[in-house]
Structure 1
Amino acid sequence: MESLTAFLRPLAVYLGAAAGEIAGCFAFWAVLRLGKSAWWLVPGLLALAAFAYLLTRIEADFAGRAFAAYGGVYIASSLGWLWAVEGRMPDRWDVVGAAICLAGAGVILLGPRSG
């Protein structure tokens, strides 16, 4: 049970961070590319602040390692956004690429360290 919690907690933090980053960046996209009101930036900036805060909750010895592992989760989550929000289903190359990135994130975050 403890190992499951050790896996699920960082996963939840990373998924929350990804939601914050993607939503925050999409707010800027909506304003600058879709002509939405500048008021979209208010929740967008709050979402980006939540993203930054959540990444500090990852248990890692170094920020760069936590950020690098997050990259794989961000890529997979972005494809989820593509499908759920933008209505475009990821193709097989998107899925293969995301799987490779998630595998890399797992190696970075969970790989044995030698001091």
Structure 2
Amino acid sequence: MPIVVTTVFIYAGAALAEIVGCFAFWAWLRQGQSPMWALAGVPALVVFAWLLTLAPADHAGRAYAAYGGVYIAASLLWLWLAEGRVPDRWDLFGGALALVAASIILFAPRSA
């Protein structure tokens, strides 16, 4: 599988795992759900951290920085699909800009 496709799957999976894990805590602490929600969120956060170690970057900071753009876009998708709130044009513009920035960080040619 080409590196770009693999990277997309790694970051998409990481974003889903992080959002699910964090939303579990949100539901517990902000929406009055059972503490069991938080307990269920912990494995998702572990999967998130593991997936980021698979990112094709030489340095953790670069992998995390690039992931940040993907996380922004995935969070807007969550806003729409899970929370029923359609992102506005500024959300979409910001998400697209974040993805462009993430691509530059991750795929720019680098000298050794």
TM-score, normalised to structure 1's length?
0.95
Give the AA of the match of 1:65.
R
Structure 2 unpaired stretches of 5+: none
1:82-93 matches, cutoff 5 A:
82-93=79-90
Kindly, what percent of the aligned residue pairs are identical?
56
**Partner Cα distance (2:39, 2:80) in 1:** 24
1:28-107 matches, cutoff 5 A:
28-107=25-104
Name the structure 2 match of 1:21. Answer: 18
**Partner Cα distance (1:110, 1:27) in 2:** 32
Query: 4+ runs of 1 displaced by more than 3 Å?
Result: none
**Partner Cα distance (2:54, 2:99) in 1:** 19
**Partner Cα distance (2:102, 2:47) in 1:** 21
Structure 1 unpaired stretches of 5+: none
Count of matched residue pairs: 112
Q: CA deviation at 1:43?
A: 1.7
TM-score, normalised to structure 2's length?
0.97
**Partner Cα distance (2:41, 2:60) in 1:** 23
**Partner Cα distance (2:101, 2:62) in 1:** 12
Aligned-residue CA RMSD (Å): 0.8
**Partner Cα distance (1:107, 1:7) in 2:** 12
